[in-house]
């Protein structure tokens, strides 16, 4: 969230956006300043954004239940995709299977299954449907992207450009078919830290691999920083606890080429081209929520529930937390090229996404009528958004919501 130098030629424009009559709709024009930066990039600065959603995402289909057939009781969902016909693909990390449903939610077939053979899965943590109808599965057990047809037949295996693991795949594939993965690179080798605060800074490169040629490319997209609290464990080794309420790096791939990036402290988003040069910056005057005493106590309670001996380290950890939460914590580009930016809201509030076009024009803000998992990045396909929601007794549930007209 660094402030960029501003050049002279600033002019104020009123960008008219016509919205429907939903509750909370913003005025028909927004006060936005556009400036030219020294490198030729454009800075789009909004004096404010609506505090209320301009439309609501309402569920029209739910899949998953506490009891039932094996294919409708999910264990650990790590991927959701949809094809042009509206069929839905759900990856269960626990069973190592992909369940396929039609657009009405009826089960069609099961793909995958545990194993090392063709079409089988070992540690798959994400799905991506390409324009040609190939379902790509990120299997970090094999360190390969697996390309499957609609019946689960394996068509291709592509090695990772970066040998890494992750909880959920960030699903980055451009229009040229290249797969991209983030590759942080420290300036100095990591040494074993002592107890207490550990700060880390690294350069971030996005590395790609082309599925046909095997060509590997790399683009520098900036630096990232993080803070952790190191606690020695009684059984040996160390535990790293991230400082709560710190901002986190967010990078989204633009399938047409380039990246969107934010560190999250302020509402400041940068658009990079395919060479890593800044072409567009979006800023908005969005208030950051305070980190309260009850917020800090909540962190202590969660840590001591896992291990009562962590009470002391937990209180040292929360003392390092910032006074305010970051402004945003997630961004991605959907299948129509719109940028989705998730704001950080008060506890218990459903997520609120601000949508922008490729030129930084504000399209509206969407709030869900349900509460998805906070770590989940929605899949947006064919006018619908797909979320993972904790169902009864926290059993994973897939929720589909049509995207209402915005502009």
Euclidean distance between CA atoms 263 and 281, whole angstroms: 13
pLDDT at 407: 67
- 11-289+324-402 classified as CATH 2.60.40.10: no
Tell me the per-residue pLDDT of 330-341, one tens digit each, with 9 for 90 and over: 999 999 999 999
pLDDT at 29: 59
- Decide if pLDDT at 1 tops 50: no
- Decide if pLDDT at 253 tops 70: yes
pLDDT at 214: 93
Q: In angstroms, how far is CA 126 from the centroid of its own chain? A: 12
Average pLDDT of the chain to the nearest whole number: 90
Backbone angles phi, psi at 276, to 5 degrees: 90, 10
Euclidean distance between CA atoms 136 and 129, whole angstroms: 6
Find all residues with CB under 8 Å of 354, minimum gap 6, and list them.
Answer: 49, 284, 340, 341, 343, 362, 364, 365
- Decide if pLDDT at 252 tops 80: yes
Q: Please state the rounded mean pLDDT for residues 275-286.
A: 96
- Decide if pLDDT at 235 tops 50: yes
Residues in the chain: 407
Euclidean distance between CA atoms 38 and 7, whole angstroms: 6
Specify whether the CB–CB gap between 41 and 278 falls below 8 A. yes
pLDDT at 268: 97
């Amino acid at each position: 969230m660094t402030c960029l130098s501003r050049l002279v030629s600033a002019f104020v424009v009123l960008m008219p956006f016509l919205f429907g009559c939903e509750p909370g709709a913003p005025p028909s024009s927004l006060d936005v300043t556009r400036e030219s930066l020294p490198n030729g990039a454009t800075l789009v600065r909004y004096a404010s954004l609506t505090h209320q959603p301009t439309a609501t995402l309402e569920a029209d289909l739910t899949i998953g239940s506490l009891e039932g057939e094996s294919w409708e009781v999910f264990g650990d969902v790590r991927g959701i995709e949809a094809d042009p016909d509206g069929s839905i693909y759900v990856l269960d990390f626990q069973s190592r299977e992909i369940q396929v449903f039609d657009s009405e939610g009826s089960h069609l077939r099961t793909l995958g299954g545990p194993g090392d053979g063709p079409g089988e899965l070992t540690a798959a943590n994400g799905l991506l449907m390409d324009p040609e109808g190939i379902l790509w599965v990120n299997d970090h057990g094999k360190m390969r992207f697996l390309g499957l047809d609609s019946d689960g037949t394996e068509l291709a295996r592509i090695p990772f450009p970066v040998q890494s693991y992750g909880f959920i795949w960030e699903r980055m594939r451009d229009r040229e078919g290249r797969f991209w993965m983030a590759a942080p690179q420290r300036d100095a080798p990591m040494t074993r830290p002592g107890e207490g605060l550990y700060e880390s800074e690294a350069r971030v490169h996005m590395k790609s691999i082309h599925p046909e040629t095997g060509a590997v490319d790399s683009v520098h997209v900036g630096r990232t920083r993080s803070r952790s609290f190191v606690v020695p464990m009684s059984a040996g080794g160390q535990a790293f606890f991230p400082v709560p309420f710190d901002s986190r790096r967010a990078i989204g791939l633009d399938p047409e080429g380039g990246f969107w990036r934010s560190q999250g402290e302020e509402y400041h988003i940068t658009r990079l081209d395919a060479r890593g040069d800044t072409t567009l910056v979006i800023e908005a005057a969005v208030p950051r929520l305070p980190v309260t005493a009850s917020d800090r106590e909540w962190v202590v309670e969660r840590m001591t529930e896992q291990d009562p001996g962590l009470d002391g380290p937990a209180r040292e950890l929360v003392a390092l937390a910032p006074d305010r939460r970051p402004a945003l914590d997630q961004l991605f580009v959907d299948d129509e090229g719109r940028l989705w930016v998730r704001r950080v809201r008060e506890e218990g509030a459903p997520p609120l996404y601000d949508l922008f076009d490729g030129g930084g024009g504000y399209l509206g803000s969407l709030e869900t009528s349900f509460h998805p998992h906070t770590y989940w990045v929605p899949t947006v396909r064919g006018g619908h958004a797909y979320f993972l929601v904790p169902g009864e007794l926290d059993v994973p549930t897939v929720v589909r919501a049509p995207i209402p007209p915005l502009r």
